[in-house]
Structures are given as structure tokens and as C-alpha cells.
Chain A
Amino acid sequence: MGGTSLAPPAWAEQVPLRVAVTLMPASFGDPFRTLGVPGDWVWRQIFDPLTESDDEGRIVPLLAESYENLGPNRWRFVLREGVRYASGRPFDAFSAKEVFDWLISAEGQATVVGWELRRVSRVEAADARTLIFITRDPDPVLPNRLTSAMMVDPQAWRELGRQGFSRTPVGTGSYLLKDWQNRNGAVVLTANPYAWRPPGISRVEIYPLRDHASRLQAALSGQLDIIMSLRPEQLDAFYARGFTVHADILRQILAFAFDVTGHPDAPIADVRVRQALNYAIDRRAISEDILQGFAPPASQGSAPNVFGHNPRIKPYPYDPQKARALLAEAGYPQGFSTEVQVVTGTYPNDLEIFAKLQQDLAAVGVDMAFRRVLFSDWIRQFFQGAWRTELFTLAWNTAPHNDALRPMEQYSCLKTRPFFCDETLRPGLVAAGREMDTQRREALLQELALEYRRRAPSLLLLEYGHMWVVAPGLSGFRVRTRAPQLYRVERS
């Protein structure tokens, strides 16, 4: 168990690839119940969707070979040939149609992924390779939405039922599921004999190690090959051992949202106060000293590589004088006290970032108390739109579409129970949601980003993407659509 072996032994093929993630998908192999991570980490090894995001974050075909927009409400997808499910049955337009028909059925609409496709009214299989989507309203991000719709084997789905399927999922991915929890607590995947992308290493064990320290210790003792989410200050130990570090380019924007709707008389209802707080924090120090440069300062609600990101907007400079001046202008020369609710443990170093923020804000007279809440409590307030505090953690999350619009809609009157509702933004948001011309749409989104910057609806912090640490002797590791592409990994 000590250290990593030097030369790959003859039985190297039998040695599993050992991967540590933080969590397992709560719904096991049912890929429709939740969206994004942690499901993606496992599901994308077992299933493929029609589209994925490439190394630059652009949406590209995957199980489709190409797609085109035939009109505002009509899309044609040409599917890849010769793809089979792990059951041996062929994947084609007819089986894909069956999956989409379920997703847009009443039952499917109760799932999170089905709900994503609510604008789709009908799916038709023109022939074995051609799939036509007809939408109720124009949906410029339909290809983006399809990155989350995993192509399950419809026959297995039907025969096993949702619950049976969640235990024994069948997809077109490089791996098939052997065991959800072996005697070591790991998810075990083995090569899918029918895979259209056969894996380099035929056996994978995925360990859900939620505790940071135990991931670190297991990695340092050579019990793991690929480890997710370590603390930046510990990376030196890994560099010294020859590990490589890969950061996901699909970053989300860590931020505290201002509940302006619920606190119309609070200082934070004044845009100058919101701007002042943004000027008061030293993002560069947080980014460089605490996160060692892994999470750059955020400038807007989307990271570069996200469609609609506006490269002309720069992060707020650290300018405590300006912050104080703005506070004085707004009528708070002595500062004020406020409170923020945070959910902790979702990314490393969060407590340190909070402590530093508190310190920076105190320097301009703003006394910010941090109140830690459970996620279940947070989501209740989020849904009811009834926030107990003036600020709360809310990332500008462009996943799963990798498109700047989605988080903007959260910060708007379009949200069911809004916390920040500026009616002047509504027309732009609605237009961006319907605009089918890519260039015009990008311009609209960049314009919106500027508008949001002026209104400062959140205290922007950093751009954060998950970090993957890979042991020496492994090559080919890549992260796409937020998940590692394990099939590419080989022992060199």
C-alpha cells in the first residue's frame, strides 16, 4: 500500500483506476432525477448525451454527429452510426425518441432533466439516424440542454422500471456499472464490451470521500489515482510526487446575493452600497494568497468560456477609499451591520474566504455576521423567496447550459419568487431567451452582463472550478462537461 509502484507490472490491465470524488449521486443510476454534479461524475462514464461541451466550453455533438436549427421551433440532429448500448441493442433515432418521449411525458416532466426540456413539444425520428425536435417556443439553448439528457436504453428503462434501472443502469458509455457499493465502499465500473469509445483502463473504482482530509491522506498514501477537490496549499506535496493538476474550465461564480426584494429599507437596497461592498473586498489577495491562483477574481456572473461572457468587464478593483466614499454618499459614512447566510463545505477554503471577507468589510465599517445554515434550510428560503438575512450565498451557476442567461434569470423578476427584481432588465432577458441568431444573442447577453454590473445585485467573489489531481504514470486525463473523461485515461 505504500507509495505508487514504479514500473507497471504485467497485470497492470487488472489494476483498477481509483478515483475519489466528494459525493455519489443520491439517485444512483437514474440520471434524470438531478442535474449536474455529483451525478455527472459517475453518469458520464455510463451514459452519453447527444451533445457535450468541448475543451473550450463550446457545445459540440457527441452521440449526434451534427445538428442544425431548421427554424425557430425546429431542430434536426443527425446521430452517430454504429453506437450500441451496453445491452448490445443498437442506439438509433428510434430508441432516442423513446427516451425523449418519456422525458416530455407527464411522468418525465416531474424529473429535473425532463423539466429542462419543457419547451420541447414533440420529437420525431425521420429515419434511423435523424431526430427532429419541435419546440413550443424558440429555444436557442436546446443543444445545451441536451448535454444533460442521458441516452438510457429505453428497453431496459421500460423493463426494469425506474427503480430497477437506477440500480442497473444501461447506457452507451465507455463503462458499465458493476456494483454501486463494493465491499470497499466504491462504485465499480467495468468496460462496456459494446462501447463506441472503448476505455483505456478496463476497471474503475470511484470512491465517495466527502471528507477533505481523508481524500488527502488516501491520495498521499498511494491508494488513489485521481482525486477531486484538494486544497490548493497542499498541492506542493503532490507536485513533488509527480502528480498533475487539472482545473475544470467550466467555472461558476461564487457570490453573495443581496435580497433587495425582501429588504427594501436596508442599506443594501441602495445600489451605491452594493457597489461599495464590491469595491471593499480584496479579491486578488483571496485568489492568490488563499487559493493560490486557482480561482481568479470574478468580474461578472459568468466565467470566460461561457457563452455570453463579456471580456470587456474587469473585476472590481480593490478600492477601500472608493467603498467608503460610496457608503458616505449613500448615507452610511459610519458603515452598518448586516448578515449573510452561508452554506459551508461546498468548495474548499470557504471558511477562510469568509473570514477574509469579514475582515475586508470591517475595514470600511461594514460589520458582516456570517450565519451558517443547512442546505435544506437554504433551499426552503430560496424557493419561498423569504430570506431571513440581507445576503445569502448563491453562485452564478452557468451549468449545465454553459450559457450566461440561466443565472441572470435567477437574479431577475423571471424567478418564481425573486430576490432581485429590476423590471428594466426583463425585456433584455426575454429577448435573449428567444433569440435564435447566435451572434445577436451573444451581443444581447454581453449587454445584459454590463447592465448587471451597473446594478450590482451580488457581492461577486471568485470564479471557481473543481480541481482534479492525477497520479504520475497516467495520461490522457481530461475534464469535459464537468466530469472526468475516464475512458481516455491510460497507464503510460
Chain B
Amino acid sequence: MTGVVSRLLAPLKASPQLALGAAALLGWVLLLALSGLLQTHDPQFGDLTERFSPAGTAGHLLGTDNLGRDLWSRVLSGLPWSVGVATVSCVLALLVGGTLGLCAAQYRGYPRTIINQLVDATLSFPGLVAAIIIVAVAGRGFWPLSITLGLLSWPVFARIVYAESLRLLAQDYVTAARVMAVSTPRILLGHLLPGLRPVLAVVLTFHFADMLVAESALSFLGLGAPLGVPTWGALLQESRDFLIVAPWLMVVPAAAIALLVVSIHLLGDGLSALDRARR
């Protein structure tokens, strides 16, 4: 048991960056798990007499919004949504895009042509139109939002996996494996995937940030989360009307997004540093 733990902890000791990233991630997971408990006020209901209390007001650590709602509680209550939407859309994009990109790299001829066509078609389709149609047909909600973002962004993974795989497939160790008649699945999983890992770690970390940001862009256009759900994107988008009277309404969710992005970034960098160290 201790052996397993120390084996798991070993990389953390080796890379302080990774340790920092892991600690930050742990912090976020804790916040996520306890988000309900940590809310000091009802995130939906506020006291109109307390509207626009600046950050630092007694009882309202991060201030209140245009309806006197406590911003700290709202940021916390939006956390599961924002993180959930970004995670689901990332996983979706990675699964769809990664698989198709790998297939396109491995199988020349029709599969490659068809996949590349699909990538091109998706990339050429204005995301706004797709988002409007999905909202019109499926309404607003966690799943429509996550799926919209995932469906719009899988080509990112498809293209990068495709390009990287082509590069890797041309490398000597893969050619050698081919010559030694190693089976295709084994080449893909055993030889390609490890090679893809560094670039995927980077792409995933920034894609996650992208999805957090994209959610706010959809909110900006009125195509985001349902009303009353204080996702960080929705908080940001609502805050721009109060840029002058209550700038903290923009600063707080922006800082939350930035902190989360930096944590993920630390983790991703730590992983790739570990990877470099291993080789």
C-alpha cells in the first residue's frame, strides 16, 4: 500500500511544478466538492438594498451584484457548471477528434479523405450558426451547451493528432516497429499514443481554457447557460453592463477563470516536464 502511494508520489517529488499543479488541482476539487457548504449566501436571491456593495464589504467578501446577491456564493455556485461544461466538452472533443485524427493518419485513402473532409466542413461552418440552431432545437442546458462546444471544437484535436501522428509515423522507431510486423493497434496505442502525450497535454490544457472562455462568448450572444445559472461566463457577460459602477463584478469571475486556467496550465506543464525528464 505504502509502495503504491510512494510510487504515485514519486513524480511529484521529482517535479516541483507538477507538485504545485497537483496541489492547485486538489484545491479546486475540494472547492468543487464543498461548493455548496462554502456558500455564505443564497446565490440566487439577494437584498436589493445591498446592491453594488464593493468587494471587502462586511458579510460580502467579494461584494454584491446588481441585485445584492453575494458574489462569492455566486462564483462558487457557478463553479460546477463551468468546470463541468468545460470538462465534458473537452472530453467529447478529445474522444471524437483524437480517434478520427489517429484514423486519418493511419489509414490512407478513403478514410483519410472522408475524415479530412469532415474536419474541413466542421471548421468551415460558422460556430454561431451551429450554436443558434442547437439552442433553437434542443434548448439551453448543461448537455446542449457541452455538446455544442464539443461538436464545434473536435477538429482541433483531429488536426493536431493527425499532424503529430503523421510526424511520428514517419519516425524511425515506428518504422522499425512496422518492419517487425507489430500489429497496427499496437503501433497506435503502444508507440503513437505516448508520443502524442506531450502535445495532447498542452492542447488539452489550453482547450480547457478555451471552453471556459467560449462558454462566456456564447453567453454574450445569449446562447449560453440557462437563465439563473451563474456560470462564470454568464457572470462575466452580465458584468460588462456594470463596468463603470461595479468593476469587481468583472474582475472576480475573470480572476476565477484565470486562476483555474493557470492551475491547469501548471499541471500540464508539470506533466510535460516529467515527460521530458523521463526520456
A contact residues vs B (CB 8 Å cutoff): 212-213, 216-217, 220, 231, 233-234, 237, 285, 289-290, 342, 344-345, 348, 351-352, 354-356, 358-359, 362, 369-374, 376-377
Contact = CB atoms under 8 A, between A and B. Distances in A.
A225 B240 CA distance: 22
Given A344-B227, A359-B45, 14 more contacts: A213-B240, A216-B243, A237-B244, A290-B66, A345-B222, A352-B67, A355-B67, A356-B67, A358-B45, A358-B228, A372-B226, A372-B227, A373-B139, A374-B136
B140 A372 contact: yes
A352 B244 contact: no
Contacts of B244: 216, 220, 234, 237
Interface string B59-97: 000000011010000000000000000000000000000
Contacts of A345: 222
B51 A371 contact: no
Contacts of A362: 45
12 contacts: A216-B241, A233-B66, A234-B245, A290-B48, A342-B227, A355-B69, A359-B44, A362-B45, A371-B140, A371-B226, A372-B222, A374-B135
Contacts, number: 67
Contacts of A212: 240-241
Given A213-B241, A371-B140, A355 B228 contact: yes
A376 B136 contact: yes
Interface in B131-161: 132, 135-136, 139-140
B241 A231 contact: yes
A415 B241 CA distance: 38
A213 B44 CA distance: 24
B222 A233 contact: no
Contacts of A237: 244
A280 to B, nearest CB: 14
Contacts of B240: 212-213
Nearest to B239: A213
A352 B51 CA distance: 11
A339 to B, nearest CB: 11
A376 B222 CA distance: 13
B279 to A, nearest CB: 49
The majority secondary structure among interface residues of chain B is loop
B48 A356 contact: yes
A55 to B, nearest CB: 31
A355 B136 CA distance: 23
A114 B51 CA distance: 48
Given A213-B240, A233-B245, A352-B67, A370 B48 contact: no
A213 B243 contact: yes
Contacts of A342: 227
A491 B221 CA distance: 37
Smallest CB-CB A-B distances: 3 pairs: A370-B227, A213-B240, A289-B48
A355 B226 contact: no
B245 A351 contact: no
Nearest to A340: B227
Contacts of A376: 136
A285 B227 contact: no
Contacts of A233: 52, 66, 242, 245
A234 B52 CA distance: 12
Interface string B221-245: 0100011100000000010111111
Nearest to A377: B136
A111 B69 CA distance: 47
Contacts of A216: 241, 243-244
Contacts of B238: 351
Contacts of A370: 226-228
A355 B222 contact: no
A354 B227 contact: yes
A354 B227 CA distance: 9
A415 B64 CA distance: 44
B37 to A, nearest CB: 22
A253 to B, nearest CB: 22
Nearest to A350: B227
Contacts of B222: 344-345, 372, 374
A355 B243 CA distance: 20
B143 to A, nearest CB: 15
B30 to A, nearest CB: 29
A218 to B, nearest CB: 13
A93 to B, nearest CB: 47
Nearest to B68: A289
A351 B66 CA distance: 10
A231 B208 CA distance: 34
Contacts of B132: 374
A91 to B, nearest CB: 43
A372 B224 CA distance: 10
